[in-house]
Structure 1
């Protein structure tokens, strides 16, 4: 089933909701009115508790009205009283707050209910995260933090997933959840017309496959809620006016002309038949004898009487529901869908009310989340490298980062003061993380009798959030300080060449590495005459070049949408201050040009003065301050000569690329897709990639890439935030890189430039799923943006001891990505790795000496080299190696010899996880 074509036959939808179905010849016919004599109805009680939105996370828990504390108490009390009552809970964040203050008796009640299967923990991540904007590492961390806590207190690992409120669903979560052990999931918000088509063809059950997974290894079974929401009035059947009658809880929010009454036998018969008819109406949407009915609402069941009123209905959990389908031919024969559900709209009118504004809304917060993520990952990397568990207070920092992934946090769709609360929590977490980095690094120095005390260097304008800025550390040559030792930590797991920048107060400096003088460049800050920026580069290589031209310009458009929705009003308005003279910086290391376009926008372009691959990328830094320009969305336009014919690629949360298409017949906002880290256009001879250090929205017409940069909104789009609360985007420092790559002609390509394994291969051209991975050069630039080399300094270091000091893990093969390296307990380290199938159709990357697994025809030499690097990496961790799931909650068989590790890389792009139990455990 090719859903884009199906959708366009109804009306020209621009939601690539389903790009392909394999393994089934599905005929789309008018919905069958199939009714069996017996229908299994599983009414799933739930309470949707936002971890911040109109109130802060803490306020929601302690609120005077509908507090989450009361909801959890009511659930435990009612389930104890009524044995047939069941309930599901999805987020670990509120559970942790309740568990912390609950007495031992209530904890035992809770454990007993979970053990009996009457209280199901579904998903169990820290929060119900957004799926459009987080980088996949952040989403993995959200799962790990939540699932590790669930295992700690309940000794279980969730097997089902419940994600009913994110604004569109993507390909990342079904894959990550499957790797974590959750093979069945319920989702809610998908494009109105896409859902209608699936309903008409009874396909609201399907198996969701990855675009690259040709063998369908990682394919959860999915149940889509039948209508727009997860409430009683919207989910029990086709008629809201009847369904609302059964929303009888005291905390019910729905408006209804009447409520069900069951005081007499006659009333029971009348309302019972109405309810049964609505349940039967759902059956044909799923073509199944079992249906799931969501019964809940935002902060539902906060009154003690709520569950007492509804307990007489027959209830189930998500697990109960999927268990009823497990052995049926329906589950086995369900269609296989690939693709995602972006953009999302809850409107039947295709090009209105598109939820694409949040892709870029409050850009400062999206950037800040990515900064904290990088620093947390660095802290974990150092802790594993020095074999020391981080202090317990870093758990709060982890949880605050996970909290920021909530679908009303990273999206920027909460009230102003709630966004400030998220930011404050992240800032405190960042300070904790930086202090722990220093502690771990200095503990290693102490172990080596180094006696050098290192401090973290932070140079970033992007941390100026609402008047808050981290301490700006400058290397001052005074008070007897004659030299500084600079410790550089690379957390990427591969060798890299990067610019290192420091602020100094003396222009007469020499930089050396093991006695060898390094090339440096001094740049004086214009308004601080005593402050210089020094940039160091160590390695220089020779290579070819790309000959092309491009243009970069900025504009804005009137946006009558809100925090969630974009409503663009043409025309675009150019932003260019011709009176502002650009500032040019030239030197032996890099050259850059700075341009102030307006009071709201400035940017710089930087290139490395080298002939190696580090010079292939153009660094773009954009500085925004748009709070004084309400009602506008700002764009960056990259204009090229590439003839991409309206086709372009965006990334699936940084995991791989998926093809999109610009449709001229629908609105601009309907053509915008989430860009978590990358967008790309190409033709037969040239490719242009843009990688970003923060998420945004993107689209492309022929030869042009349009990126949302920032927006300031003052209107109410009717989705929950009023006109005052929707705006206020603080100043941002946004980072991008542009990479042009010449493509090999077909005659120049090797026959084995494929994505595949030793036994089975597939190429870009013979697959129809329109997905690719980028080159090694693009991967290098992306990781440098996401995980820049960290700099620590120490004054008057002991040169003899310092020369042999370093913090690192052995490098991995170039195409094995270090995804996760962190302690999960005092003695257990979780390692996750991913095989990257670099696209070798680009002329500038043909590094056959280091690319050890991109081709199925491996030589014995490359196999041995690969095995040796893997062996060295795992041997350095000093422990026993075991198979693991993604979240580290399930430990499998022990791996006796590291030499067998390559056997676990069975598919390109697949993530494999291991637990290391330290030898001194």
Structure 2
């Protein structure tokens, strides 16, 4: 047996089902498990026999894991990467035009300064901005303003006096100050897992409802670096059916403008009935600023950027001191507004009038009101000349003014807007660097997410309302998915502030877990280390069993937060190789292996003969002249410097086999193969250890070279919601073909499918059976997007996790998932075979692997082997059907639970795992166990419908992938 002489640490690894208690005994004594399987596990693991008759199924047999899912087929606009196809808008612009000038201030809760600095101490204080908005709107009845960042609004409210709170609430109730979006932050759309985005919506909307008694109906998201399919769907579920977006690929935007299609209904790929297709307005130009958004000529538009805190450069500013000036600038304003109409061919246009942290000076809004009011009055009085009505407005005012026919006849768009590129004329670089920038933070943020979710489920299972400290933990987690946080596109000290907030959230959450498990005597404690806010350095939390002198036995409680029974590999770091494990007195199969300081990279070829899984596994790097946002690769790829390569270490045992190897000082790797008797699938666990701080100007990649003949096609996930097809465009640069990978990428042909799952977001591309994933990067350059040289250069050591799954496919004629449309492509030059171009979701096997990766079992330890099982404090929750995903289960108020679920349309074109317990009556049993009245709700729990009978709940799961949300009022 090999072991690390310096640390003398070892890893105990167990493969065990469900929730267990175990006792670890050190030295040469025995180690045993106690307590047996829990009858109530978290959330739902035991199988329950169904009693009584089944509900009548009207549309489909919901007990079948392979479900019919009709795909969108009638879109007038289809966007796939860099390509767009559309039907020209035949509507003609009306002569009359309603113009709504929307005043806003874009306030990032962290970027060049920290959240707190932006609020109170920076030159452009958010505190001052909100004060100025309240004062000016009270003074001028026709003035309007919109606000989207609820994190700052809460900060302002927390210190505002009663009078100012009353003023703001009154303005919001009148609709003159519109809460547009209402999320805690304006989140990034390329990198967060959809659970995090839902939590961001819930935290924001719940606060707005509690404080202002308002539920947002519009959304304002104008700065994320590209827009995806997740937010249109989630916002619709939350009651927001009208959206404004900004940053989409400039080439795509120009084509939409030429065809008069800058507003459309944005549909989900699977929503053939257009139930969840919000009406979307795209800002016409590059930015949301006054100088960019008012028309087609920036040299004219900048003249209307009259605030003292304006950032634009202009040869002149609009003056309204006399009639001649008013006529001159009024005509210029009207002409610019009219120039926007052709992009929409509608009877109304929205004009954004704001900038980053604008209106912080007390004179700003007063100047805007005085100048614009004079020009509006001139234009409106000369209607015969301009055929235009101009006014201050909100996003809701604009959408309400559009003719119903305009909304009803709006084209349907299918696709998303990744990757983003912001300047077609200068051939600017693509914004694909941030998909992987600061990989450490992306991994750290995902760890906190899983622990908060576990605390939520424990709270529901114990019927204990969360500690008030969890409110701040949730807010800090929501803050971390802001579009300058999870993206890694803020200054060093701002990222440090985000990390400190996350570490504080983790510490609070772990203490909450212990409280909920009724560990008042501190018998059981969490086994996560490196969680303190005082932890030195940037080290990711990991589970280690620390024990005192003289203690030979430890009891370990394993808590599973997945909604299904699972056979999972449990890893535990210990300090002695002499370990045994028992359960109810029976010795369990375990494996003790050395835990090395340096784990290395390798090239791997696996073929056991049972299925076609030959693949090459290697790493490389590329010179990258981009910055935090963008990637500018200097091909060709370079081999990893392996001058310090050490021999590979091979570990074989009864549970798994693995290879450990170091390839360079920057990269270390291990691959683990879990022993299995299933010949139809192979799963490999990948652990990557990176420290690329010594390699500035480089991006590192992991490559999987397979025998899959996929050609230029591959799939990525829509933030974990479902799969979307991508196609490599050989005319475009390498970095232009990288797409967001939040949890998954996949390639397939008619015989084999290869899926890679990730525990953190990154970017991916593919070419002829090779999947190429971004691993980590170190950038010193200024890419001109806001951060200067060395301002986003630090890269902390990271431990990144992946799984590779190979699955054999059944023949197309035997594919009984009738919802999947089989399309035969032309055979390409590289001999790619026809594949299913409409794969919407993965198999049940992949789903279970994904949830094990995202939500690994939590471990709690105690030196008291006679302590009471922590499961005894759980009321218990029945399991759910295997094809029902439990998304959210948490308190939103005392005696009020918010539960979100969806039905998964498992893909059964693969041979594995078209099986399981899919008895939909288990849903009824789940809700019955909550002991309360059940009501339908919107996603954020701010709108509650009438009570529904528990026995009818399963009938609501008709449409696969549709998220259904319930409110449970506990008796």
C-alpha distance in 1 between matches for 2:878 and 2:195: 21
Which of 610, 613, 617 aligns to 1:552? It is 617
**What is the deviation of 1:765?**
5.0
Match of 1:139 in 2: 197
**What is the deviation of 1:442?**
2.1
Deviations 1:284-343 (A, max 9, x none): 111011000000000011011111112125200000100011x43111101000110000
- CA 1:590–1:272: 2 relative to 1, 3 Å: same
More off after superposition, 613-622 vs 677-686: 613-622
The answer to whether residue 942 in structure 2 is matched with residue 880 in structure 1 is: no
The answer to whether residue 105 in structure 2 is matched with residue 47 in structure 1 is: yes
Match of 2:146 in 1: 88
C-alpha distance in 1 between matches for 2:595 and 2:194: 37
C-alpha distance in 1 between matches for 2:871 and 2:517: 15
Match of 1:533 in 2: none
- Aligned to 2:202, the other structure's residue is in SS state helix
C-alpha distance in 2 between matches for 1:744 and 1:660: 23
Which of 743, 746, 749 aligns to 1:680? It is 746
Match of 1:160 in 2: 218
C-alpha distance in 1 between matches for 2:458 and 2:609: 36
C-alpha distance in 1 between matches for 2:789 and 2:685: 36
- Aligned to 1:772, the other structure's residue is in SS state coil
**What is the deviation of 1:612?**
4.9
**What is the deviation of 1:770?**
3.6
Match of 2:512 in 1: 436
Number of corresponding residues: 860
- CA 1:349–1:461: 2 relative to 1, 3 Å: farther
More off after superposition, 74-83 vs 544-553: 544-553
**What is the deviation of 1:599?**
0.5
Which of 577, 587, 593 aligns to 1:523? It is 593
C-alpha distance in 1 between matches for 2:836 and 2:257: 25
**How is 1:892-911 mapped onto 2 (pairs within 5 angstroms)?**
892-896=945-949, 898-911=950-963
C-alpha distance in 1 between matches for 2:746 and 2:667: 24
- CA 1:229–1:215: 2 relative to 1, 3 Å: same
C-alpha distance in 2 between matches for 1:803 and 1:507: 29
The answer to whether residue 398 in structure 2 is matched with residue 332 in structure 1 is: no
The answer to whether residue 245 in structure 2 is matched with residue 181 in structure 1 is: no
**How is 1:664-703 mapped onto 2 (pairs within 5 angstroms)?**
664-703=730-769
**What is the deviation of 1:582?**
1.0
Which of 391, 394, 398 aligns to 1:321? It is 398
**What is the deviation of 1:632?**
0.4
Which of 329, 336, 355 aligns to 1:278? It is 336
Which of 361, 369, 372 aligns to 2:448? It is 372
**What is the deviation of 1:213?**
0.6
C-alpha distance in 2 between matches for 1:122 and 1:116: 14
Match of 1:505 in 2: 575
Please tell me whether the aligned partners of residues 717 and 723 of structure 2 are also in contact (alpha carbons under 8 angstroms).
yes
C-alpha distance in 1 between matches for 2:716 and 2:547: 44
Deviations 1:16-39 (A, max 9, x none): 5757x7xxxx3368xx9x664421
**What is the deviation of 1:523?**
1.6
The answer to whether residue 421 in structure 2 is matched with residue 421 in structure 1 is: no
Match of 2:777 in 1: 711
Please tell me whether the aligned partners of residues 715 and 722 of structure 1 are also in contact (alpha carbons under 8 angstroms).
yes
Q: Which has the higher contact order (CA 8 A, sep 6+)?
A: 2
**What is the deviation of 1:503?**
2.6
Match of 1:661 in 2: 727
- CA 1:830–1:18: 2 relative to 1, 3 Å: farther
**How is 1:184-199 mapped onto 2 (pairs within 5 angstroms)?**
184-199=242-257
**What is the deviation of 1:6?**
9.3
**How is 1:287-306 mapped onto 2 (pairs within 5 angstroms)?**
287-306=345-364
Please tell me whether the aligned partners of residues 133 and 674 of structure 1 are also in contact (alpha carbons under 8 angstroms).
yes
**How is 1:454-469 mapped onto 2 (pairs within 5 angstroms)?**
454-458=524-528, 466-468=537-539
- Aligned to 1:347, the other structure's residue is in SS state coil
**What is the deviation of 1:507?**
3.5
The answer to whether residue 849 in structure 2 is matched with residue 781 in structure 1 is: yes
Unaligned regions of 5+ residues in structure 1, if any?
8-12, 529-542, 756-761, 853-864
Please tell me whether the aligned partners of residues 812 and 822 of structure 2 are also in contact (alpha carbons under 8 angstroms).
no
C-alpha distance in 1 between matches for 2:681 and 2:558: 21
**What is the deviation of 1:518?**
1.6
Please tell me whether the aligned partners of residues 446 and 759 of structure 2 are also in contact (alpha carbons under 8 angstroms).
yes
- CA 1:527–1:492: 2 relative to 1, 3 Å: closer
The answer to whether residue 545 in structure 2 is matched with residue 474 in structure 1 is: yes
Please tell me whether the aligned partners of residues 762 and 775 of structure 2 are also in contact (alpha carbons under 8 angstroms).
yes
C-alpha distance in 1 between matches for 2:428 and 2:340: 27
Unaligned regions of 5+ residues in structure 2, if any?
1-71, 377-390, 599-607, 825-834
Match of 2:924 in 1: 871
**What is the deviation of 1:3?**
13
- CA 1:520–1:188: 2 relative to 1, 3 Å: same
**How is 1:514-593 mapped onto 2 (pairs within 5 angstroms)?**
514-526=584-596, 546-575=611-640, 577=642, 579-593=645-659
**How is 1:583-662 mapped onto 2 (pairs within 5 angstroms)?**
583-612=649-678, 616-662=682-728
More off after superposition, 806-815 vs 643-652: 806-815
TM-score when normalising by structure 1: 0.90
The answer to whether residue 276 in structure 2 is matched with residue 224 in structure 1 is: no
Which of 908, 911, 925 aligns to 1:843? It is 911
Please tell me whether the aligned partners of residues 590 and 606 of structure 1 are also in contact (alpha carbons under 8 angstroms).
yes
Match of 1:27 in 2: 88
**What is the deviation of 1:487?**
1.5
C-alpha distance in 1 between matches for 2:468 and 2:524: 21
Which of 901, 910, 914 aligns to 2:966? It is 914
C-alpha distance in 2 between matches for 1:526 and 1:343: 39
- CA 1:360–1:613: 2 relative to 1, 3 Å: farther
C-alpha distance in 2 between matches for 1:808 and 1:595: 44
Match of 2:558 in 1: 488
More off after superposition, 677-686 vs 487-496: 487-496
Please tell me whether the aligned partners of residues 18 and 337 of structure 1 are also in contact (alpha carbons under 8 angstroms).
no
- CA 1:694–1:465: 2 relative to 1, 3 Å: farther
- CA 1:899–1:3: 2 relative to 1, 3 Å: closer
**What is the deviation of 1:51?**
0.8
- Aligned to 1:275, the other structure's residue is in SS state helix
The answer to whether residue 186 in structure 2 is matched with residue 121 in structure 1 is: no
**What is the deviation of 1:754?**
3.2
The answer to whether residue 165 in structure 2 is matched with residue 101 in structure 1 is: no
Please tell me whether the aligned partners of residues 17 and 340 of structure 1 are also in contact (alpha carbons under 8 angstroms).
no
- CA 1:207–1:502: 2 relative to 1, 3 Å: same
**What is the deviation of 1:352?**
4.0
C-alpha distance in 2 between matches for 1:459 and 1:883: 40
